[in-house]
């Protein structure tokens, strides 16, 4: 049973426009959420996170929104750049330090 | 800091052989995680250590897999005997102390394992 789901395996966006990546979770015990970016032949790199006590966290072009009632979070990238093309994973943590990852969404930003 | 270091980057071996993957975490980090990434199952946690002690190994697929952390700067993941279905990218990650810093894991570049 997948506790963290990214239902869109891929997303294509024009450079300069907004990219919105979505993630749903089922475990109500999750209280901390993270987004990772992964380039080919590299390990995932931490991008941005949000605690369950917040509904928004912003870092430059990246904003993460959390809707606890819907068990849904999203990552907004504005404006999107070709260098943002990568696979994005959302992850969630409850008690302890384990992360549960979603299946990833491949973002392609076209020049 | 050089980040999390993994070796080898690529490993090709024949079925039945023993495979050992190595990881050096970021200095000062006290959590170490081993993950496996496959097309079918995505990124799955195999085992993690805190202060060199295994905390949760429920993700280890079977007894052929074992992991050790003899000291704070080194960990190994061993597969013996290896099987073709073990072919995957294996990542090591580490994280530090703090309210949320332990959630922010830093990944190594991974080891691509191919078992023929």
Cβ burial B64-100 (10 Å sphere, 16+ → b, else e): ebebebeebeebebebeebeeebbbbbbbbbbbeeee
Question: Cα(B16)–Cα(A96) distance, rounded to whole angstroms?
Answer: 35
Residue B27 CB neighbours (<10 A): 11
Please report which confidence band the pLDDT of residue B104 belongs to, taking 50, 70 and 90 as the band edges. Answer: confident
Cβ within 8 Å, pair B103-A101: no
Please report which confidence band the pLDDT of residue B100 belongs to, taking 50, 70 and 90 as the band edges. Answer: low
Dihedral over alpha carbons B46, B98, B101, B92 (to 10 degrees): -30
Phi–psi pair at B103, nearest 5 degrees: -80, -25
Please report which confidence band the pLDDT of residue B102 belongs to, taking 50, 70 and 90 as the band edges. Answer: low
- pLDDT, one tens digit per residue, over A5-15 is 999 999 999 99
Whether chain A has a CB inside 8 Å of the CB on B70: the answer is no
Whether chain B has a CB inside 8 Å of the CB on A45: the answer is yes
**Contact call for residues B110 and B6 (beta carbons, < 8 A):** yes
Token pair, residue A23, equals 């993630």
User: Please, what is the Cα angle at A43 between B62 and A4, to 5 degrees?
Assistant: 65
Whether chain A has a CB inside 8 Å of the CB on B102: the answer is yes
Closest chain A residue by Cα to residue B48: A98
* Partner-chain residue, chosen from B56, B91, B109, that has the shortest CB–CB distance to A98: B56
Question: Cα(B72)–Cα(B51) distance, rounded to whole angstroms?
Answer: 7
- pLDDT, one tens digit per residue, over A11-40 is 999 999 999 999 999 999 999 999 999 999
* Partner-chain residue, chosen from B43, B55, B100, that has the shortest CB–CB distance to A32: B100
Q: Is the pLDDT of residue A98 over 90?
A: no
Q: Is the pLDDT of residue B13 over 80?
A: yes
Whether chain B has a CB inside 8 Å of the CB on A4: the answer is no
Q: Is the pLDDT of residue B45 over 80?
A: yes
């Amino acid at each position: 049973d997948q506790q963290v789901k990214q239902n869109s395996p891929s997303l294509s966006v024009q450079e300069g426009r907004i990219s919105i990546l979505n993630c749903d979770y089922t475990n109500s015990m999750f209280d901390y959420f993270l987004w990772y970016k992964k380039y080919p032949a590299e390990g995932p790199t931490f991008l941005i996170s949000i605690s369950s006590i917040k509904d928004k966290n912003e870092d430059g072009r990246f904003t993460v929104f959390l809707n606890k009632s819907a068990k849904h979070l999203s990552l907004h990238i504005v404006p999107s750049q070709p260098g943002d093309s990568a696979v994005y994973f959302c992850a969630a943590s409850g008690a302890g330090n384990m992360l549960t990852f979603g299946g990833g969404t491949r973002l392609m930003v076209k020049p | 800091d050089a980040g999390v270091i993994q070796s080898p980057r690529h490993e090709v071996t024949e079925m039945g052989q023993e495979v050992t993957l190595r990881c050096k975490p970021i200095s000062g980090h006290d959590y170490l995680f081993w993950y496996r990434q496959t097309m079918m199952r995505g990124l799955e946690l195999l085992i993690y250590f805190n202060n060199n002690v295994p905390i949760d190994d429920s993700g280890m697929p079977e007894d052929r897999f074992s992991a050790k952390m003899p000291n704070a700067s080194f960990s190994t993941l061993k597969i013996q005997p290896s099987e073709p279905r073990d072919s995957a990218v294996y990542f090591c990650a580490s994280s530090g102390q703090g309210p949320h810093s332990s959630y922010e894991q830093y990944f190594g570049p991974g080891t691509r394992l191919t078992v023929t």
